[in-house]
Structure 1
Amino acid sequence: MRLIINFISKIGVDSFSRLIGFITLPFITRTLGPEGYGAYSYLFVIVSYYGFFIDFGYLNYGTNKLCEKEDSGNVIGRILSLQILTAIISYAVIVLSGLIFLDKDKFLQILLFSLIFIPQIIAIKYFYLAANKLYYNSLAELSGQVIYAVLVFTFFSMKPEINILILIAVIQAFVIGLVLFIPYIRKNKVKLNLSLRDNLNTLKEAYKLGLSSKAEGITSSFIILITGMLLTEQAVGLYNASFKIYLILLTIIQGLSYAMMPLLLKNVKQTNSDNAGKLSVIFYSFITAGFVLSVMTFIFSDKIIHFMFGNDYADSIAILRWFSVTLFLWPFVMFTGLLLLALNEFGKLLILSLVSMITSILFSLLLINVYGLIGSAMVLPGVAIISTVTGIISLRQCADGGNLKFTNFISPLNLYNGIKDIYLRVR
């Protein structure tokens, strides 16, 4: 029952949050145009690379530690301490590189955007995820989106500049972080420890999940980075407009992922028939959601682009159609990644993420150089295919005759048993 409540709250509230994004995104992209929106998107990617180690896979690391019943104050304290130290280093790198390599305006924009590191530290989503209170994360995102929309339609509409949009994004991040952190800190104490030795020990524990998380980030952000380097900021804007639509639609599948993660973490290692049925239901839920979203996006891609962004973004239609292919393929990657996480197979999860990252880097350099803008849209489908094959091979290596055989996932009998079990529990 908790699973269903989490899924409904996650999908319902997140869908409303994304609906707000559907409202603000067209206004921003139309106001700035492809070139201005591309410049903003390119800045965001650059800042994310400066803050590479601040969000170093702590969502998965923290969730896993807390699900093992470790003291929350201890876990959160270790993570926050490490994030604070890495933030200090990141700001030092920004200042040093800005003074040496960047012009004044670009440096100030990056410095302003980097304020987003602070709320990233206090956004303890992993605590609520491990506690099966996904609605906290959803409400935090909704609060941030509402503030973002209000500021966009007031301050940004009066002064439509990239710097104003950067400031609004920073404020949004602070709202999300505070909504998550304040309820926890009111009832709990967090002990910070800035000892370099102790934080290195925490980093040693988290580095596999950290590298895995960052590899996932690079998989998508490197495409934008290379598009800006090899093509133009306008090309970045055209690509990122379709990419935003893709991310909004992917939220539905991510809702499944977040809702079912605690169930997988607790039950996937058991080998009884009930758990085989649950795994089959989860698998088909992922695939069905991806298929429906993929077909709908492909059919209505031209209408979506013209309605959302206008004629200036007509070149984004073909890009969105390629993303519709990715929407069908990516749930396979997410599902295999979830299973590896649930089995504590962090090494295999890291390999899966590194394969995705390396594939993205190689395909980006090749396809964008050869095919230009449309080549950027061809990268993620290729990444999804190779990553899915890698994930299936990894699961076979740790299956040992249990429930993780691919035939168990697709088994109609297991699917039927899983649906029947859920029905009996709900009834």
Structure 2
Amino acid sequence: MIKKLAINFSSLTALQISNYIIPLITFPYLVRVLGPTNFGLANFAFAFLVYFNTVIEFGFNFSSTREIAQSKGDKDKINHLFNLTFFSKIILLIPISILYFILISVFSFFSENFLIYTIAYFSIIGNLLFPVWFFQGIEKMYYITIFNIVFRVIGVVFIFLFVVKEEDLIIYLVITSGVLLLTGVSSIYYILRQKLVDLTLPKYESIKQHLREGFNLFSSQYLIMLYTTSNTFILGLISGSAAVGFFTGADKIRSAVQNVGGIAGQTIFPHISNLFRDQKALAIKFLNKYIIVIGIPAFLLSTSLFLFSEELILLILGKQYLNSVQILKWLAYLPFIIFLSNIFGIQYMLGQGFDSEFRKIISVGAIMNLILLIILVPLYGAEGTAASMFSTEIVITLLTFIFFIRHKNEI
């Protein structure tokens, strides 16, 4: 068990290097070459797409991961779950795509950059085809790592070769969406070639039932998306692309630090789900140790992020992003705060099946964040967005912690 966790942790560590550290090589280059406005426009386009992508994901990264992890040894059931999830996502893609193209065609805010939003759209197809939930469920995360690293390294090379001036925004979007699309196509090809599953269309009634069962978790994930992605989206609508550029620049640095803890969280979720099914007391003991082992480094990293905000902004983003310093200070302790909410919310509540209760907590956070954004963004712009994000995460963490304290002794 420990060996498998170590392998999965190492694989996800390498994956996050691909997802965050390797792009950090290109990040300082891109923010300078594209400039705050075009860099902000690209991030606004991808933020807008998250509203649609989250519907297609439908919480499967947790629900299907959990179900597959709890079906070990039952190849037929795993095969059935794969097909249910994969074809459910394809069915969801159809109306979502129609709605997306109607919006970017009808509203001038989007239609004036129609090509940008069209190219970015293909990232949705790539995400659909890349079954992270399957590889996590069978706890063979090195497959995820291989596919990601190969294509992301190619993407990095292409960015340095072909994105050389501010007008190369379209080329950057083609490379970014292309990497995701090729990763997804290659992973599906590998799964079928290796006969890890047999691709068969499930009955429509089975798909409907699968979607119905996952609705609580989906609504929780969508609400999470609303209070995270809406930060960028509402900021862009009110304050423009340059403000999004300053905010996103700081937030990318925060995300890179935060994903140190995120790796461990992704690794242990299937394991925790199994423990809660069979050995609940052991699961709580495991989480208590995990809080100490990962929590202390997460706190120290957040503190360093706060203390050296200006130095990091100047080093990574450059002088033209000095407006991002105060934003980063607001975001600095989020890696530690979100680590705690992951423990109490994702690992404990979802791991034990408290999907509905988790959704209610996230609803409180989403409503609070929306109210704060409406008040703070017109007054303080990107800093107001960061302050709203910080306040919301504090409240969600406190609510999940209270739930954890009240219920952990019921085991």
Could you tell me which residue of structure 2 aligns to residue 408 of structure 1?
A: none
Distance 2:353 2:170 in 1: 43
Verify the 8 A CA contact 1:140 1:180 in the aligned structure 2.
Answer: yes
1:149 to 151, 156, 178: 156
1:162 aligns with 2:169: yes
1:27 is aligned, of 26, 29, 50, to 29
SS in 2 for 1:343: coil
- Structure 1 portions without partners, runs of 5+: 403-427
Q: 1:129 and 2:131 equivalent?
A: no
Contact 2:258–2:336 (Cα < 8 Å) also in 1: no
| Structure 2 Cα separation of the partners of residues 129 and 339 of structure 1 | 18
Contact 2:275 2:283 in 1 (8 A): yes
User: Residue 362 in 1 paired to residue 371 in 2?
Assistant: yes
Query: 1:44: which partner in 2?
Result: 46
TM-score by length of 1: 0.88
Q: 1:142: Cα distance to partner?
A: 1.7
User: Which residue matches 1:239?
Assistant: 247
Q: How far, CA to CA, are the matches of 1:276 and 1:343 in structure 2? A: 11
Task: Give the structure 2 partner of residue 346 of structure 1.
Answer: 355
Deviates more, 1:350-359 or 1:30-39: 350-359
1:380-399 superposed matches below 5 A: 380-399=389-408
Match of 1:304 in 2: 312
Instruction: Indicate which of 191, 208, 221 corresponds to 1:184.
Output: 191
Structure 1 residues 314 and 3: alpha-carbon distance in aligned structure 2, compared to 1, 3 A threshold: same
Q: Structure 2: which amino acid aligns with 1:137?
A: I
Aligned-partner Cα distance in 1 for 2:237–2:319: 25
1:175 aligns with 2:177: no
Q: Structure 2 length as normaliser, TM-score? A: 0.91
Structure 2 stretches of 5 or more lacking a match? none
Rounded to whole Å, the distance in 2 between the matches of 1:158 and 1:240 is 20
**Contact persistence 1:340–1:349 (CA under 8 A):** yes
Separation in structure 2 between the aligned mates of residue 99 and residue 13 of structure 1, nearest angstrom: 36
2:330 aligned residue: 322
Runs of 4+ aligned residues of structure 1 deviating over 4 Å after TM superposition are 269-276
**Per the alignment, do residues 299 and 171 of structure 1 end up closer, same or farther by CA in structure 2, a change over 3 Å counting?**
same
2:163 partner SS: helix
Corresponding residue for residue 88 of structure 2: 82
- SS of structure 2 residue aligned to 1:133: coil
Give the counterpart letter for 2:35 in structure 1: G
Q: Deviations over 1:207-231 (max 9, x none)?
A: 1111111222222111111111221
Report how many residues are paired.
401
State the alpha-carbon separation in 2 of the partners of residues 156 and 369 from structure 1: 33
Distance 1:65 1:183 in 2: 22
Equivalent residue for 1:214?
222
For 1:108, which of 93, 115, 127 is the aligned residue? 115
Q: How far off its partner does 1:334 sit?
A: 0.8
2:104 and 2:253 map into 1 onto residues whose CA distance is 33
**Match for 2:8: what amino acid?**
N
Q: Compared with structure 1, are the counterparts of its residues 124 and 175 closer, same or farther at alpha carbon in structure 2 (3 Å cutoff)? A: same
CA contact (8 A) 1:80 1:192 kept: no
The one-letter amino acid paired with 2:395 is: I
Provide the residue aligned with 1:92 in structure 2. Answer: 98
Aligned equivalent of 1:279: 287
Is residue 50–residue 225 contact of structure 2 (8 Å, CA) maintained in 1? no
Looking at structure 2, the residues matched to 216 and 91 of structure 1 have their Cα atoms a distance apart, in angstroms, of 22
Structure 2 partner of 1:72: 78
Give the conservation status (yes or no) of the 8 Å contact 2:11–2:142: yes
Question: 1:269 Cα deviation (Å)?
Answer: 5.3
Q: Which amino acid aligns with 1:183?
A: Y
- Please name the residue that 1:9 is paired with: 11
The CA RMSD measured in Å over matched residues stands at 2.1
Q: Is this contact kept in 1: 2:349–2:358, CA < 8 A? A: yes
8 Å contact from structure 2 (residues 123, 180) kept in 1:
yes
Query: Contact 1:81–1:194 at 8 Å: present in 2 too?
Result: no
Relative to structure 1, the CA distance from residue 129 to residue 272 in structure 2 (aligned partners, 3 Å threshold; closer, same or farther) is closer
Measured after TM superposition, the shift of residue 270 of structure 1 is 5.7
Shift of residue 157, structure 1, vs aligned partner: 2.5
The C-alpha deviation readout for 1:370-396, integer Å capped at 9, x for no partner, is 333211111222112110121023224
Q: Do the aligned partners of 2:291 and 2:343 also contact (CA within 8 Å) in 1?
A: yes
* Residue equivalent to 2:272: 264
| Kept in 2: contact 1:145–1:172 (CA 8 A) | yes
* d(CA) in 1 for partners of 2:225, 2:146: 24
